[in-house]
Amino acid sequence: MKQDPAAHDELPEPEYKSPLGTRYASRAMRANFSDHTKFTTWRKLWIALAESSRELGLNITQGQVDELKAHATDLDLDLAAKYEKELRHDVMAHVHAWGDVCPTARPIIHLGATSCYVGDNTDLIVMREGLRLLRGQLVSTLDALAKFARQWKDLPTLGFTHFQPAQATTVGKRACLWIQDLVHDLDDLRQVETQIRFRGVKGTTGTQASFLELFEGDHDKVRALDARVTEKMGFARTFGVTGQTYPRKLDFRVLQVLSSICQSAHKFATDLRLLANKRELEEPFGAKQIGSSAMPWKRNPMRSERICALSRFVIELTGNAAHTAANQWLERTLDDSANRRLSIAEAFLATDAVLNLYVDVASGMIVYPAIVARHLDAELPFLASEAVMMEAVKAGGDRQDLHERIRVHSHLAATEIKEGRESDLRQRLASDPAFSDVAGHLDELLDGRRYVGRAPQQVDEFLVEEVDPILAEFAEDLGVQSEVRV
């Protein structure tokens, strides 16, 4: 049956929408990378350029500057899209669209500038704001984890190496490992924030030749123009030298920080998923949340799984920035443009989504102390065997004989476990005559609190000495609320 082609004209145009926008990223980060923010920032940059040029003596009237300011937010994206279809140039499309509503100022919009004046400087402004938003989420996550660590600093739990039972630790001490990763990430984020400079007013190949021509060879005025625009846009420094673009190495450094944050989040979420399998720890679970469409009883750690999924995406984007930096030909090549539109925005949106989930999970983790204790108790006779042996030696036993007896008992008890039965090592030691002098206080010797070392003290010391000062320094950034939509 033939379909009427005209019928398709009545249907909405098919359109892909990124899940980062529709499902995962926060409202604030979506707004930061929105078309509205991008194009209004372009206009702020054009206004700053025109205003500063006028102040330094170019033939630009106050009326022209005022006209630009009066229509700074009159965005007609449909008109700009129409112009771009004709001109094949996004910046010039917006110059023309704005010029249509600012006819007096039209002749001086973008005067002396190259596209990277608005494009690159806007990217720097948006990345700086994106890092600020991530900083708020990061310190809010630190705060939630610090509260969790304090609450559970004394609860003994089975520690693992190679995901095999090892020495005991505490639930709070384990949380401090997650916190420490984020502390390092915050250090890196603060460092890269200081490296974000303004590209400034540099011209087509970075030589400022067009501005030197406009100011009739006056180098001081060209330098002053660069400085004034930089100050008006809220930056303290510009890059001393650029090509047409700011150095793409900066993108790599920024994405390295985002990758590092996501590495930390992935490690946390993986740990939680492992512990959820053991029923020791769970992420928050909604009252009507469905874990599985087929298995109604399931409580899958879907938020932690999503943290891992999105983190993996961000970690891989770092390579994109590395290749872009490596492949910048001479003063500039345009093969950075299309991938940067994708990779930078999506790296920020995905990292925002990861931290959005991280602060949500960290604020509502559920610990099951009875299960934690049961798992530790099952392994304690093995972990405490040296202490039991030492106590028996103190009571007059032969160290070598005791060591051999424990070796035999422990291997037999391990066989019991592997054959599906409970470990009977405690009972074996209690009934062995060689350990009769310590059998009466085996419960004391097999108390998990004896084997956590300085874990509780380490929690207190770490939080007081390292974490609390950070939380105090960034008090204004605390309190970010999660926005888990699905």
Max CA pair span of the chain: 104
Count of H-run helices and E-run strands, the chain: 21, 4
CB atoms within 10 A of CB 256: 15
Tell me the C-alpha distance between 388 and 395, whole Å.
11
- Set 292, 411, 431, 441: catalytic member: 292
DSSP 238: B
Cα-Cα-Cα-Cα dihedral sign, residues 315, 320, 321, 322? positive
* Measured distance between the N- and C-terminal CA atoms of the chain, rounded to whole angstroms: 40
Beta-bridge partners for 121? none
Phi, psi dihedrals of residue 480, rounded to the nearest 5°: -65, 130
d(CA 135, CA 100) in angstroms, rounded, equals 40
Contact 232, 52 (CB under 8 A): yes
Give residue 383's identity as a one-letter amino acid code: L
Secondary structure (3-state) at 18: coil
DSSP track, 13-71: PP----HIIIIIS-HHHHHHTSHHHHHHHHHHHHHHHHHHHHHTT-S--HHHHHHHHHT
Please indicate whether residue 162 is annotated as part of the active site: yes
- Residue 292 among the catalytic residues: yes
Both tokens of residue 37?
A: 């923010």
| Cβ proximity of 325 and 252 under 8 Å | yes
**Dihedral over Cα of 15, 19, 23, 28: its sign:** negative
Q: Could you tell me the two tokens for 177?
A: 């490992």
CB atoms within 10 A of CB 384: 22
Active site residues: 162, 292
